[in-house]
Chains A and B, each alone.
Chain A
Amino acid sequence: MELIRVEEVSFAYLPGKLVLDRVTLRFDHRSTAIIGQNGAGKTTLVKLMKGLLKPFDGEILIGDLSVKKVTAASLAKRIGLVFQNPNDQIFKGNVLEEVMFGLLNIGVEREEARVRAIRALEMVELEGKRDMNPHDLSLSQKKLVSIAAVVAMDPEIIIFDEPTIAQDHAGKERIKEIIRYLDEKGKMVMTIIHDMDFVAECFERTVVMNRGRVLLDGPTREVFSREEVLKEAYLELPTVAQLSKRLGLSETFLTPKEFIAHLEGRIKG
């Protein structure tokens, strides 16, 4: 089933400087990574889907709703976006209020909002910080608060813009778990990300953007087998794929686990 349709969308912040140039994409429930160099138009694309910007040409449908015709507020129940910089999202004086804010705005009763917010904070393991001022948290914790605030609203589509910024190994593992959990719950998870190892491990589908256009789109393994096209978009292969290529192997490996299993087979054989 198609959840999002992006049809021939163009957008520019300044006259004559197209950031998106006739982009057409369809999204179903598969978890999807959007990759591309800084300035490729990734963040602009997701802001358009969320209704925060309006396309000046083309059409975006979220289910049957055209983002041109409805307000961002009415899209909020269907689609949630976790901003790249949590400081752009956070503004309340305590963590619990921050996570409850979106829920109250979409009309959830205060008591239920509280329960859902606490559950979301437990998911990101920040329940113990609920009475703190979010601005006293570290950047990585603020990022987790902003994730909790969006997940608590339980939209069908959840978009993360660079979720792993400032996260250490444990933080990244937690975000991987959150993505898998949401995916299993039937949510459509879309993520803008620069960490190719993370993409290889977590997403079924990968869309490569370059200069406002879609350069490649397909199952993640297929995308990472096209090194020459990735180079054109100034991207690199995941670490494991770099090593397997250096060794002259023709298959594209995505995770250390599958690569180790393959080599063990060879060593034994």
Chain B
Amino acid sequence: MAAISVTNVTKSYQRDKTSVPVLNDVSISVQQGEFLALMGPSGSGKTTLLNLIAGIDRPTSGSILVQGIDIATLGETALAKWRAQKVGFIFQFYNLIPVLSAFENVELPLMLTSLSKKERKQQVETALSVVGLADRMTHSPNQLSGGQQQRVAIARAIATDPDIIVADEPTGDLDKLSADEIMTLLERLNSEFGKTIVMVTHDPRAAERAKVVRHLDKGDLLAEEVRS
């Protein structure tokens, strides 16, 4: 069974009285442990597709099965709970909470779990060690470089040990060196920890690190490109 199965999904937005189509009858399957890169020009619908897979937006029609659950049918509360347990998010602009330290930012999603303080601490320390920031736990986001902030964001994404990680332009705001570090980290999460990763990117260098690259254009999914 595919980890993610998107079937005949359409998505359109209402602008005043006009319906603007963003995704046209898209179907895609992502296997367990796959590293998928979604590429395409601006407005092609790649971020919309990522948002639908991550359960932060709803399709106009079609079904999205993630590990057998049709997330399009879940209510808001159930969907929020599902996201907390199953999906790790990485954003282009890191989206860390500026008043919290690196440790506290990573701990944030764990606050929704039933873990004890000690268990949370252990989990946060492990996640920060994985991203190589064990020595920066007490630093606040503004004391960290862009690459380091993104690594904290990755630690936050993996803190709950989700099966799926979605990343929206994770290298979009980084210099080349930092971008390489981030991509190496994502590769490691995929290969070493078996995480299924769906990444949206404009950056061909980043896309090269994915196992599968799919292109979108004007809401249509183009042919598959599989790498060894």
Chains A and B form a bound pair: no
* Residues of B bordering A, CB below 8 Å: none
